[in-house]
A and B are shown apart, each in its own frame.
Chain A
Amino acid sequence: MTDRAGHIGTPHLREGALRHLAGRGDFVSDQQLPRMVHAAFLRSPMAHGTIVSLDLDEARASAGVVAVFTAADLNPRCADWTSQLDHFVGMTSAPQNMLAAEEVLWVGHPIVMVVARTRAEAEDACDKIFVDFEELETVAGIDVALNADTPPAASGVDSNLCYKNELKTAGVDDAFANAALIVEGNFAFGRHTAVTLEPRAIIADHDPATGQLTVRHGTQTPFQFQDVYARHFGVPDHKVRVIAPDVGGSFGMKLHVYNEEMATVAAALILNRPVKFLADRLESFVTDIHAREHRIHARMAFDADGTMLAMDVDDVAPIGAFSAYPRTSVVEGNQAYRLMGAPYKMKEYRGQLTVLFQNKVQTSQYRAVGHPIACQVTEALLDRAAAELGIDPWELRARNVVPDDAYPAESATGYRFEKLSHEASLQKLRSLMDYDGLRAEQTALREKGIYRGIGLATFVEITNPGVAFYGVGGARISAQDGAVVRLTPGGEVHCAISVTEQGQGTETIIAQIVADQLGVAPSQVKVTTGDTDATPSGGAAWACRGAGIGGETALRAGRKLAERITDIAAALLQADPANLKLRDGAVVDRGTGEVRLTLAEIGRIATYRPDTLPGGVDHSLSVAQHFAPSGYPFGFTNGVQAAWIEVDTETGLVTLLKHWVVEDCGRIINPLLVDEQIRGGVVQGLGAALFEECLYDEMGQLLNGSLADYLVPMAGEMPDIVISHIETPTEDTILGAKGVGEAGTAAAGAAVLNAVNDALHPLGTRLTQTPMTPARILAALGIGQA
C-alpha cells in the first residue's frame, strides 16, 4: 500500500473541462441517432380544467408526423406513480401518469404527444390540435389553498392538505413564558427554478429483437431511472440501460420523474425506434420542478444575557397539484423546519409544517433543500435580537453556537452532529473579513449618506445521507454506491463507479483517491460514470454524497486492488507482502524503496501468463466494492458566511461588494473543486435572495417564462467570494470527507438579507421577503408598491 498522502488534498484540474473547452462535449441534447424522431407536447394553457373534446385529425395528417398519442394511447403502457414516503405519516398525493386524460392540473401539463421527423414538424402538428376545455376552480396561492372551502387542486385528493406535522420539545412553552426577549417575524420566499444551461434531454430506444430499452438521459441519477423505467413499463431491469453522458447542470432538478421523459420512453417502446425530447426554455419554466415557496411565521426566545432559548416556527409550504415522484415534495419543508436553529445551543423547539397542493408546476428538491429557508429565518431573527439586546451580531452568534468541544451533540429538532467547528469558523471569518475594520468603514460612510451593511449567517449542511432520507421510507433510492477498480494489462488503472458527473468534478476526485491507493498519478486512472451497464449500481449524485460516499467507495475499492497487486507481487518475488508497497507505478521494497516489479509487469503476467504464478494465487486484476454509510444518519458540515453590500436608497438596487465563506467539509480532496462548489453555491443562493422568482397570477398563469423576464445572477453583479476552510474529517469513514455542494447556497441568501437589513437599519425598515427586488426595497422605504 502507498505510504504517501499523494494527491488527496491537492488541486487538480478537471479533465472534462478541457474536453468541453475543445468542443468535445457529449450532451444528450446534441446526440443524433439513426432513425431518430422528435417529440413535442400540446400542453394545458390553463391551471385547472377538464378536457371536453380533442380534435386530432389535422395534426395526424400534418407533414412529417409519425405518431400522435393521447392519454388513452399512452398511459396504459405505464403504471401510475404516486408520491409517498412511509416516514411522512399521513402524507397524501394523487396518482399520476404521462398525459392528462381528463383533468389538467397546471399550466404546462402535457395533454397530447406528437412524434415527428423533426421537432419543428412536431410543433407544427401540435398547433393543429383543437382542444376544448372547461375551466375548474384554480388553487393558486397559500390563502386559497388553506381555505377549507376551496375544492382540491386535483380530483385524486380530498383536500389541499398534502402533509402536516408538528415537532415539539417538552419545555418549549416554559421557555417562551420565561423569556426576557422574544423576537418574531413573518417571512416569505418566492418560487424559483434551476435554469440549467442544458435543459432536460432524453433519447429512448427499444430493440424488439432483444427487448433492450436504452435511454440516454441527462440525469444525475441513472440507476434510479433504470429502476423507475423497469418497474413502470414492466421491463426487467437488466434490459434497461440508462446512459447519462455529459449533463449540463442538474442541481437536484434532474432527479425527479417528469411526464415528458416517461412519455418518450413509452413512445420508443411503441415505435421501436429512437425518440428524442429536448425541453425548450419555456417548457423548462413550466415543467421543471420549482423550489422553495414558503410562508413562515417564527419566534425566537432569549434570556437577558442573550442566550437563545427556543424557537417556534410555523411553515406553510405550497407545492404543486401533486407531490413529485419518487422523492416527494415534502422533503423541502421537512428539512426547512428541522434545520431551524441547528447551529445553536437552543434547547427547546416547536415547529409546524403544513404542505399544501395548488395548481402550479410541482416543487421539489433543489440544491440545498430546505437549508436557505431555515438559515434565513434563524439568522434574521438572531440579528433582530442582537439589535434589541444591544449585542454585536458576531458576538451573539459566538455566544450561542454549539461549542467546538461539546460534540457529539444533538439539535432540538433531533439531528445528531458528530463534530462541527462553529467557534473556529466564526473566529476565522472575523479575521478573514476584518470585521472590526468593516464596521468602522460602515459607520464612517453612513455619515456621508451611504448605506452599507454587513450580514452574517452561520449554517449547518446535511451531507453523506444514509438510508434515513429515502430508503427507510420505502423509496427505491440507493444510499450505497459501488465501484469496480481494475489494473489494465498495460499497468494503468480503470475505475467504474456509480456516482455521476454533472460538471462538479466527481471523476477528477475519484481519480485522485484511487491513484493514492495504488501509488499512481491521477492521470493514470480512467474513471467511467453515468452508464448503468458499465458500473455497479448506486445512488449517484444527490444530497452531497459524491465525495463522502462515492469517494469512500473508491478508496476501499482501490485498497482492495492494492492488496491484490501486492499479493501477486509477493508470490512472484517470494517476498512477504508486508515488506512491499506501491509507489510511482511500481511495487517497491517498503524499507529501501527499491523497485521490485512495475505495475505494467504485473498487468502483463496476470493477464497473459497467469500460468507462471504459483498455484492458488488469485490473479484477478478487477475488484468490486460497495459502501454505504453506517455511522451517523447524516454527515453534517458547518460554516459561516458574510456579505458586505450597499443599498442605493433612491433606486432600491443592492450592490454586492464582497462575500466571505468559512466552511468545514471535513477532508478536502481537491481544494480547487471545493472552492468552485462553494462559489457556484453562493451565486445560486444570491440568485434566490435578489433576482429569481417564478411569478404567477391568481389564475395560476406563470408570468415570466423566459430569461427576458426571469432574472438569473450574472457575472457582472457577483461580488468577489473569499473562501477559507476548517478541516474536521468525519471518523465514520477512512477518507474523512463530507459534502460541500450545498454549503454556498445554504447561507448566502441569509447573509445578504441580514446585510440589506443592516444597511437599512438607520432608516427604520427591514425586508422579510426574498427575492429582495428594487421594488420591494423601495416599498420598504415607503416609496411605491412592491
Chain B
Amino acid sequence: MELTGTHTLSQPPEIVWAGLFDATMLAESIPGCEDLDQTSDTTFAATVKLKIGPVSAKFKGDVELSDIVEPQSCLLSGKGSGGMAGFAKGSARVELRAENGGTILTYTADAALGGKLASLGSRLIQSTANKLANEFFTNFGEVLSRRTFSNKSRQE
C-alpha cells in the first residue's frame, strides 16, 4: 500500500529537521505513542498503541533514519511487532522544501501489514494509515509551533 501526502509547516526546514530527530517531539506527535527512546543518532525504539479496524494492538518496534541529506530529505524505515495482532512495517521518504519562510513537507510511504491485522484490517488500512499520517503531521506542526513560540517567549 502506498501513501503520499504534503503538509505545510510554518517553521523553516532547519527547525523542522531538528524536530524530526528529537525523541521528545516525536513521542508527542506519534498517535498512540506510549514510549520512545533514542537508541543512537539515527535510531529510535518505540511502543505505540493503535486500533486498526476491529484489532487493537500494542506495537513494539524500531525506526531508523537513513539516506540523510540535511536538512532536505531522509528515509524513515520501521517495523513493529503487535504480538497476536501481527506486524506492521513500512518506510517513508520525507522531503523538506523551504517556502515563504516555512516548510513544505512531502512524504511517500509504503506500508505493509501482517497476520490478524492484514486478515481483518486490509479493507480499512488505507483510510487508517492516511488518518494516522495526518494526525502525526498535525501533531508535529502543533508541537513545533508551541516549542518555537515558547523558545521565542524565553528569548524575549
Hey, which bits of chain A sit against chain B, CB under 8 A?
Answer: 42-46, 107, 123, 126-132, 282, 285-286, 697, 699, 701-706, 708-709
**Are B119 and A286 in contact, with the CB atoms below 8 A?**
yes
Chain A residues with CB under 8 Å of B112's CB are 699, 701
Say yes or no: is B118 at the interface (Cβ < 8 Å to chain A): yes
Q: Report B71 CB to chain A, min CB distance, Å.
A: 33
The answer for the CA separation of A127 and B59 in the assembled complex, in Å, is 11
**Residue on A with the closest CB to B60?**
A130
Q: Are B116 and A701 in contact (CB under 8 A)?
A: no
Q: How large is the interface on B (under 10, 10 to 19, 20 to 34, 35 or more residues)?
A: 20 to 34
Select one of A43, A703, A708 contacting B118, CB under 8 A: A703
Given contacts A46-B87, A127-B83, A130-B81, contact A705 B114 (CB under 8 A): no
On chain B, the residues within 8 Å of A705 by CB distance are: 116, 118-120
Is A704's CB under 8 angstroms from B122's CB? yes
Interface pair B114/A701, CB less than 8 Å apart: yes
Query: Contact: A709 with B118, CB < 8 Å?
Result: no
State whether the Cβ of B20 lies closer than 8 Å to any Cβ in chain A: no
The smallest beta-carbon distance between A683 and chain B, in angstroms, is 25
Given contacts A282-B120, A704-B119, A705-B120, contact A699 B114 (CB under 8 A): yes
Pairwise interchain contact B114-A126, C-beta atoms closer than 8 A: no
A44 to B81, CA, bound (A): 11
Which residues does chain B contribute within 8 Å of A46, judged by CB atoms? 87, 114-115
Distance, CA A129 to CA B82, complexed state (A): 10
Task: Report which of A130, A286, A702, A708 forms a contact with B83, defined as CB distance below 8 A.
Answer: A130
Q: Which residues of chain A are within 8 angstroms of B81 by Cβ–Cβ distance?
A: 45, 130-132
**Contact B119–A706 (Cβ < 8 Å):** yes
Q: Tell me, rounded to whole Å, the shortest Cβ–Cβ distance linking A249 to chain B.
A: 22
B117 CB to nearest A CB, Å: 8
Within the complex, the shortest CB–CB distance from A106 to chain B, in Å, comes to 11
Q: Which residues of B91-121 are within 8 A (CB) of A?
A: 112-120
Q: A42-B83, A706-B119 given; name 19 further pairs at CB < 8 Å.
A: A45-B81, A45-B82, A45-B117, A45-B118, A107-B115, A107-B118, A128-B83, A130-B83, A282-B120, A697-B122, A699-B112, A701-B113, A701-B118, A701-B119, A705-B119, A705-B120, A706-B54, A706-B120, A709-B122
User: Which listed residue (B83, B86, B114) contacts A129, Cβ 8 A?
Assistant: B83
CA distance A43 to B87 in the complex (A): 12
Given A123-B84, A127-B83, A131-B81, the answer on whether A45 and B120 have CB atoms closer than 8 Å is no
Which of B54, B113, B119, B123 gathers the greatest number of chain A CB atoms within 10 Å?
B119
Contact: B84 with A42, CB < 8 Å?
A: yes
Chain B: minimal CB distance from A183 (Å): 38
- On whether A702 and B119 interact (CB within 8 A), knowing A45-B114, A107-B114, A130-B81, the answer reads yes
A282 touches B116 (CB 8 A): yes
Expressed in whole angstroms, the Cα–Cα distance for A130 and B87 within the complex equals 12
Closest residue to B1 on the A side, CB-wise? A697
C-alpha gap A46/B114 in the complex (Å): 6
In the bound complex, CA of A621 to CA of B112 (Å) = 68
CB contacts (< 8 Å) of B122 on chain A: these are 697, 701, 703-704, 709
Write out the residue numbers on chain B whose beta carbons fall within 8 Å of the beta carbon of A123. Answer: 84
For the complex, give the distance between the alpha carbons of A204 and B122 in Å. 36
State the Cβ distance, A133 to closest chain B Cβ, in Å: 8
Kindly state the separation between the CA atoms of A132 and B116 in the bound complex, as whole angstroms: 17
> Which residues of A lie under 8 Å from residue B84 when comparing CB positions?
42-43, 123, 126-127
Cβ–Cβ < 8 Å partners of A706 in chain B? 54, 119-120
The 12 listed contacts between A and B (C-beta, < 8 Å) are A45-B116, A129-B83, A131-B81, A285-B119, A699-B114, A701-B113, A701-B118, A701-B119, A702-B118, A702-B119, A704-B123, A705-B119
**Nearest opposing residue in chain A for B112, CB measure:** A699
Which B residues lie within 8 Å of A130 (CB)?
Answer: 60, 81, 83
A44 touches B123 (CB 8 A): no
Chain A residues closer than 8 Å to B82, beta-carbon distance: 45
For the complex, give the distance between the alpha carbons of A43 and B115 in Å. 8
User: Which residues of the other chain, B, contact A702 by a CB distance below 8 angstroms?
Assistant: 118-119
Q: Max chain A CB contacts within 10 Å: which of B82, B112, B116? A: B116
> For B114, what are the chain A residues with a Cβ–Cβ distance below 8 Å?
45-46, 107, 699, 701
CB distance from B108 to the nearest CB of A (A): 20
How far is B60's CA from A129's CA once the two chains are assembled, in angstroms? 12
**Which residues of chain B have C-beta atoms less than 8 A from A282's C-beta?**
116, 119-120
- Complex interface residues of chain B between 47 and 97 (CB less than 8 A to chain A): 54, 60, 81-87
The smallest C-beta distance from B63 to any residue of chain A, in angstroms, reads 17
Taken together as a complex, chains A and B put the C-alpha atoms of A123 and B82 apart, in Å, by 14
CA distance A705 to B117 in the complex (A): 10
Complex Cα distance, B71 from A765, in Å, reads 55
Docked complex Cα distance between A276 and B114 (Å): 27
- Min Cβ gap A255→B in Å is 25
Q: How far is the CB of A761 from chain B (nearest CB, A)?
A: 34
Cβ contact of A709, chosen from B60, B113, B123, cutoff 8 A: B123
- Contacting residues, chain A, for B116 (C-beta < 8 A): 45, 282, 705
Contact (Cβ within 8 A) B119 A126: no
* Cα(A704)–Cα(B122), bound, Å: 7
- What's the Cα separation between A128 and B82 when bound, in Å? 10
- Min distance, Cβ A68 to any Cβ of chain B, angstroms: 14
Q: Please, which residues of chain A bring their CB within 8 A of the CB of B119? A: 107, 282, 285-286, 701-706
Q: Which residues of A contact B87 (CB under 8 A)?
A: 45-46
B83 to chain A, nearest CB (A): 5
Which of A44, A286, A709 gathers most chain B CB within 10 Å?
A709
